[in-house]
Amino acid sequence: MLNKTMLSIAVATVLASPITQGATIYEKDNGDNLQVYGEVGVGGHIGADYEYGEFYTDDESYIDDSFATLGLKGEYDDVYYRLELDYERENWEYGSGDMVLAIDKLFIGYKFYQQHAIEIGLTDTALDDYDKFGDFTFDTTVETGEGGDQENTVKYEGVMSNFKMGLSYTYDGESSSGSELGDVINGYVGFFSDYADVVLGAETRTGSEGISKYGEQMLYTLGLRAYLGDDLAIGLNGFIEYEDIAQESTLISISDDLEETYSYNDYQTLENKGALISARYIATEKLELTGSFNYEAYEEWDIYSPYGVAPDDEYSWGKERIWGTLGFNFKPTKSVVFALEANFGEAAQDAYAYGRVYF
């Protein structure tokens, strides 16, 4: 994901995005180089609804999602590396709402054979690159809930003819809120052509063994793209997850600063699933139109499940929700994008808007 060749799928994935427009600090005749890159983004969620469990507060209808990224990437022969810092707002559920500075990437990679590479460190897990492969929209559609970025990760990715594949192992993974997940393994296999692409993915984890509410898990994903000429593309994305969640917790200690520690038990398997159909139309060189139709169902929402919410706490959308999106992507230059995505139906917000500049 870090150089300008096709020597690894990791390289190719990032080069497909605008963040690869970095400034070269130095480049030697043998190809060794060091580049700096970054991104500045301003925008957020308009008409946010706290009930959907995606945001940190119910006091605001606009949730700021501004952020900045600054990174270094480089190569020495077959070794590549990356350091990336993010300055972002913790606007997700259980987040603080503050702007925080964090290391988002810190890894070393090695291209050991033609189009095959391995990475070690803080990096994307393998499935993170393709868990929403069939989704052409921006940020307000079905989420698969895979492991995302993790520390202590070893990842392999490679290319063979029209096939791409990846596999990663994470020791002691964590959720976005910092809860223990146990060891996480995920991966994908994809077939790519000029007319259609399909990617199958899977993830499993060992669970926290009583440290957090998260137990074992199995996740399966499917992403599909079909290209109907040069301007129109249709996407399909879906997942099904079997996740063990603790139904009971016991307070075991209180620290001097009143921090409580719990032991979790009685793990039960809950079924979650979701799918979407999306489309992208390239209207001009600078304007893209997108749309999607989304479906989600989490067993926790079902008042008739023994592990669902109580009837008095039933969510307004019931045990499943359906919503759609319509949006546009305007790119006045290759390094600048302005986007607006409107939501309708049982969505967590009315719209999402942003402007981003890449360098």
Residue 257 confidence class, pLDDT cut points 50, 70, 90? confident
Mean pLDDT of 223-245: 97
Between CA 61 and CA 170 the distance in angstroms is 36
Mean pLDDT of 167-175: 96
Q: Is residue 343 part of a domain?
A: yes
What per-residue confidence (pLDDT) applies to 205?
97
Whole-model pTM: value is: 0.89
Supply 226's token pair: 């079909």
Q: Is residue 71 part of a domain?
A: no
Q: Is residue 19 part of a domain?
A: no
Q: Is residue 24 part of a domain?
A: no
Among 131, 129, 196, residue whose Cα is nearest residue 162: 196
Between CA 271 and CA 244 the distance in angstroms is 9
Supply 217's token pair: 């898990």
What CATH number is associated with residue 261? 2.40.160.10
Asked if residue 105 lies in contact with residue 86, where contact means CB atoms within 8 angstroms, the answer is: no
For residue 168, CA distances in Å to 121, 149, 164, 165 come to 11, 11, 14, 11
What per-residue confidence (pLDDT) applies to 59?
84
What per-residue confidence (pLDDT) applies to 21?
59
Q: Is residue 72 part of a domain?
A: no
How many domains, in total, are found in the chain?
1
Residue 6 confidence (pLDDT) above 50? no
More confident residue, 42 or 59: 42
Q: Is residue 323 part of a domain?
A: yes
Q: What range does the domain containing 263 cover?
A: 37-65+90-358
Between CA 347 and CA 327 the distance in angstroms is 14
182-215 confidence digits (pLDDT tens): 999 999 999 999 999 999 999 999 999 999 999 9
Between CA 245 and CA 241 the distance in angstroms is 12
Residue 1 confidence (pLDDT) above 70? no
Residue 122 confidence class, pLDDT cut points 50, 70, 90? very high
3-state SS string for the chain: CCCCCCCCHHHHHHHCCHHHCCEEEEECCCCCEEEEEEEEEEEEEECCCHHHCCCCCCCCCEEECCEEEEEEEEEECCEEEEEEEEEEECCCCCCCCCEEEEEEEEEEEEEEECCEEEEEEEEECHHHHCCCCCCCCCCCCCCCCCCCEEEEEEEEEEEECCEEEEEEEEEEEECCCCCEEEEEEEEEEEEECCCEEEEEEEEEECCCCCCCCEEEEEEEEEEEEEEECCCEEEEEEEEEEEEEEEEEEEEEEECCCCCEEEEEEEEEEEEEEEEEEEEEEECCCCEEEEEEEEEEEEHHHCCCCCCCCCHHHCCCCCCEEEEEEEEEEEEEECCEEEEEEEEEECCCCCEEEEEEEEC
Residue 4 confidence (pLDDT) above 70? no
Q: Is residue 32 part of a domain?
A: no
Q: Is residue 7 part of a domain?
A: no
Among 25, 24, 21, residue whose Cα is nearest residue 39: 21
Residue 102, judged by CB atoms within 10 A of its CB (0-12, 13-18, 19+), counts as: exposed
What per-residue confidence (pLDDT) applies to 49?
93
What per-residue confidence (pLDDT) applies to 10?
35
Mean residue pLDDT across the chain: 92
Mean pLDDT of 344-358: 97
